Amino acid sequence: MRAPALSVLMPNYNHGRYLAEAITGIATQSRPPDEFLILDDASTDNSLEIVAPFLDRFPFLRLIRHDRNQGVIAASQRLFAEARGDYVFAVAADDIRLPGFFEQAMAMVERFPQAGLVFGMLRRIDQEGRHLELAGAIRWREALYADPPRFLREYLLVQPPFQAPCAATIYRRDAIQEVGGYRAALGSWADMFAFRAVGLKYGVCYVPVEAVQFRVLAGSFSQTCNAQPRKVLDQIARATAFMTSPDLRDRFPADYARQWRRAMRWRVIWDYFLGPEAPGQPRPSFLVRNLRRLPRVPATLFLCLYRGRASP
């Protein structure tokens, strides 16, 4: 019986600064990928020059190019369609993959082929690579397989509602195709939704190792969306509509869908009211912080009443 094949999928747009480190972290794993697809989404920087020498060095690496920029969701959908592996790992071009994750993750899915995905721990880092927090499963300390009820009970219901370690997640390809891959209507939360939809049908494998360092950039796709609270509330409404739709409601318990929606709405509205704080800068006094929040009070009240648009 052959070992399952792994495809790594990397969309890239103008991340030449980080690209060499990102490619090296994947291509030099102790268990290398069987296929590594990079899609350049019409970059205007030196990304293509960075990729070129790797193409000769690693025969499993293939470059795909868009003539015009189509955005990260379209790029990811193209990569999912091109992939031929039994498992797929969708990665960002500005993140850092750590050694050993593929070997441990693929060993787990060979032991538990029923699992829809396998994931590890994720560390957030800033633009310069300085370490921020490390995120893993609160309840789990060892490698394991969790069936759907256990995944719901011991992970989804105890982790923060907005958390999904998608940058450290390998999916079984047929399982993520079954839920529509990354749905464009969900924007930056498309991967978060897929993570839940797959795990709640097939269960998950977990390996308690730091798999990836996730770079938090001010101008990133997800950061840009999170700065627009009304847009994010629309995405929450759409995700809830998908959870309760006829083709997926057997996966998402109704109580969980309602609880997730309520918790997510509160988090988005509260974060908007608190406002951004510049990392690395002295924190203003309590009085100054609250004076700065006063102009946001009317918009915050509006967001409390806004239910979100479930249709794109």
Question: Which of the listed residues 164, 199, 220 is the one where a domain comes to its end?
Answer: 220
Domain containing 165: what range?
Answer: 6-220
Shared-domain flag, residues 15 and 134:
yes
Q: Going residue by residue through the chain, which has 312 residues, state the pLDDT in tens, using 9 for 90 and above.
A: 678 999 999 999 999 999 999 999 999 999 999 999 999 999 999 999 999 999 999 999 999 999 999 988 889 889 999 999 999 999 989 888 899 999 999 999 999 999 999 999 998 887 777 877 888 999 999 999 999 999 999 999 999 888 889 889 999 999 999 998 888 888 878 899 999 999 999 999 999 999 988 877 654 444 554 578 898 899 999 999 999 999 999 999 999 999 999 999 998 888 888 876 655 556 777 777 778 888 889 989 999 999 998 886
Domain annotation covers residue 312:
no
Shared-domain flag, residues 187 and 297:
no
Shared-domain flag, residues 82 and 189:
yes
Shared-domain flag, residues 273 and 192:
no
For residue 250, give every residue at least 6 positions away whose Cβ sits within 8 Å of its Cβ, in sequence order, or none.
none
Question: Which of the listed residues 220, 248, 274 is the one where a domain comes to its end?
Answer: 220
Shared-domain flag, residues 215 and 256:
no
Shared-domain flag, residues 268 and 164:
no
Position 303 scores a pLDDT of 92
Shared-domain flag, residues 266 and 161:
no
Shared-domain flag, residues 127 and 261:
no
Position 127 scores a pLDDT of 74
Partner residues linked to 119 by β-bridges: 169, 206
Q: Name the helix (H) or strand (E) containing 164.
A: none
Angstrom distance (rounded) from CA 176 to CA 88: 9
| Count of structural domains within the chain | 2
Q: Is the pTM of this model over 0.75?
A: yes
Shared-domain flag, residues 153 and 245:
no
Shared-domain flag, residues 43 and 160:
yes
Domain annotation covers residue 311:
no
Domain annotation covers residue 310:
no
Question: Which of the listed residues 154, 186, 220 is the one where a domain comes to its end?
Answer: 220
Instruction: Report H helices in the chain.
Output: 16-27, 47-57, 72-82, 101-111, 148-151, 173-178, 190-202, 221-226, 229-243, 254-274, 286-293, 297-305
CATH code of 126's domain:
3.90.550.10
Shared-domain flag, residues 41 and 180:
yes
Shared-domain flag, residues 139 and 241:
no
